[in-house]
Amino acid sequence: MTKNTVVTRFPPSPTGYLHIGGARTALYNWLFARQQRGKFILRIEDTDKERSTSEATQAIVESLQWLGLDWDEGPYYQSERYSIYWEFIERLLSSGKAYYCHCTPEQLERRRKEAMAKGLKPKYDGRCRELELGPGPRAVVRLKSPQSGKTQFHDLIKGPISFNNEELDDLVLWRSDGSPTYHLAVVADDIAMGLTHIIRGDDHVNNTPRQILIYGALGEPLPLYAHVPMILGPDRTRLSKRHGATSVLAYRDLGYLPQALLNALARVGWSYGDQEKFTLSELIQKFSLENVGKSAGIFNRDKLLDLNAHYIRETGTEELVRNLLPFLETKGFKNIKDEKLRGAVETLKPRSKTLVEMAENARFYFVDQITYDPVAAKKFLNPDALDMLKDIRIRLQEIRDFTRETVEAVFLRFIEEKKVKLGKIAQPLRVALTGAGVSPGIFEVMEVLGRENVLERIGKAINYAAGSVGSANTKSSSS
């Protein structure tokens, strides 16, 4: 790695699933690193022992893998790096930039209340700042922050940002239980890992001056900061469960393709002219922090659904087959012949918005016995269709090379001889073969089902229609 190599990171806390906002942050870091031919690091910030879980860690890793956001280093786990963090504490203590504080939580709480009663900011009052105390059983280590002046930085998205130092207190760097605080661990890791760019949500803006002060106390050069605006729902409130799914894996399980979700996330707050659809290589080529907006972006699920339908149509059949299989297996369909599955996917690609929808619409291909939609059956599997179904079944029996072309040729001869429109026979056949009044092209469906299935299902429909005739005759005689 050269001195000027760009290094970004994604540092999730494993206290829950990877949500949409976090995924967009990961994507922006990944895109920037890939565009600059730099390095993207995955770091698991699991110092919150009570809330961090291995299940959440696995879900985060699984989400990133599903999205295709690969990392060059990691995952690093902060829970395994305490010795590194203590080295930074020792640097700060030895240089006089940090100090031990022996104030108890009870004392701190009492002073906070007193300060608030006087209308003062309830921050640490610096009681131990100049006492040069050593370690103790309940001692913490605090940063000796500047008490005047300003902490300023230029945000690559928001522009110049400034904080008054008198608003910032001597934050705790090391807890009495022997663990680092968030700010210390983050800065230590960012320094140790050579971070050049910190791209994160704008809910971290207030953390930045505190972390800059730690950099300054250590005498380390600052990285560049870019704070990405939050994601809102269509009603312009913060994205939450009331807007629908918020976790990456939920969208996977709802049948969305990763490239569709990536495309949608990239466009929440970032633009490149009027272009809406991007391949991943296009995103790498065209992404820039300069084109990330300063205001919050809207996550539109309808647009995502349209994108997903587009990507389903554009995705190769073999890849779609791999993606669809788990959804079919949850419906109990296993050991499906490859050729039949590929054929089914080909017919359903143009009319499916999600893989869940595709799997549901594919049911009729793989069930042993189809169930008729009552309305469609009443309308099309009736006495008027009986003779036509019998005739077309005899003609189809004579076909040995059962393909879309040979089947279509049979139908063309049929409608020419009978002087009927194709729909007159196609609709009864559609119900006979699929159970529904709507389906992919009838000739394609027949080719995928195969000769034996087609003949068997038409035979069943003939019996059903014949039963309708019997029922109709019974009603007529009784009247």
Q: Give residue-wise pLDDT tens across range 171-230.
A: 999 999 999 999 999 999 999 999 999 999 999 999 999 999 999 999 999 999 999 999
Instruction: Measure the N-to-C terminal CA separation of the chain; round to a whole number of Å.
Output: 92
Q: Is residue 178 part of a domain?
A: no
Residue 206: predicted pLDDT: 94
Number of H helices, E strands in the chain: 20, 12
Q: Is the dihedral of CA 404, 409, 413, 415 positive or negative?
A: positive
The number of C-alpha atoms within 13 Å of 158 and in the hemisphere containing its C-beta is 24
Task: Give the separation between CA 19 and CA 29, rounded to whole angstroms.
Answer: 16
Of residues 336, 378, 399, 374, the one with CA closest to residue 472: 378
DSSP-assigned letter for residue 97: S
Distances from the Cα of 32 to the Cα of 56, 68, 266, angstroms: 26, 15, 12
* Residues 197, 40 contacting (CB under 8 angstroms): no
Residue 453 maps to which CATH number?
A: 1.10.10.350
> Is residue 22, in this structure, part of any structural domain at all?
no
Where do the H-state alpha helices sit in 315-373? 317-330, 338-348, 355-361, 363-366
pLDDT above 60 for 472: no
Domain carrying residue 443? 368-479
Using an 8 Å Cβ cutoff, are 388 and 417 in contact?
Answer: no
**SS3 track for 255-323:** CCCHHHHHHHHHCCCECCCCCCCCCHHHHHHHCCHHHECCCCEECCHHHHHHHHHHHHHHCCHHHHHHH
- Confirm whether 446 is domain-assigned: yes
Give strand pairing partners of 150: 164
Token duo for residue 10:
């994604």
**What is the number of structural domains in the chain?**
1
In the prediction, which pLDDT does 479 show?
35
| Mean of pLDDT over the chain | 93
What pLDDT digit, counting tens, does each position of 219-253 carry? 999 999 999 999 988 888 887 767 666 899 999 99
| Angle in degrees, 0-180, between the axes of helices 422-434 and 451-478, rounded to the nearest 10 | 100
Catalytic site includes residue 113:
no
Helix (H, G, I), strand (E, B) or coil at 414: helix
Residue 413 lies in a domain: yes
- Residue 291, pLDDT > 90, answer yes
pLDDT at 121: 83
pLDDT at 474: 38
Catalytic residue among 241, 294, 337, 378: 241
Is residue 478 pLDDT above 80, yes or no? no
Tokens of 360: 């549901």
What is the three-class DSSP state of 73?
strand
Using the predicted structure, report yes or no on whether residue 45 has a pLDDT greater than 60: yes
Is 389 among the domain residues?
Answer: yes
Confidence of residue 476 (pLDDT cuts 50, 70, 90): very low
One-letter amino acid of 78:
Q
- In this prediction the pTM is 0.90
Instruction: Tell me the per-residue pLDDT of 117-148, one tens digit each, with 9 for 90 and over.
Output: 888 888 899 999 999 999 998 999 999 999 99
Give the C-alpha distances (Å, rounded to integers) separating 21 from 185, 210, 228, 238, 308. Answer: 22, 23, 10, 10, 19
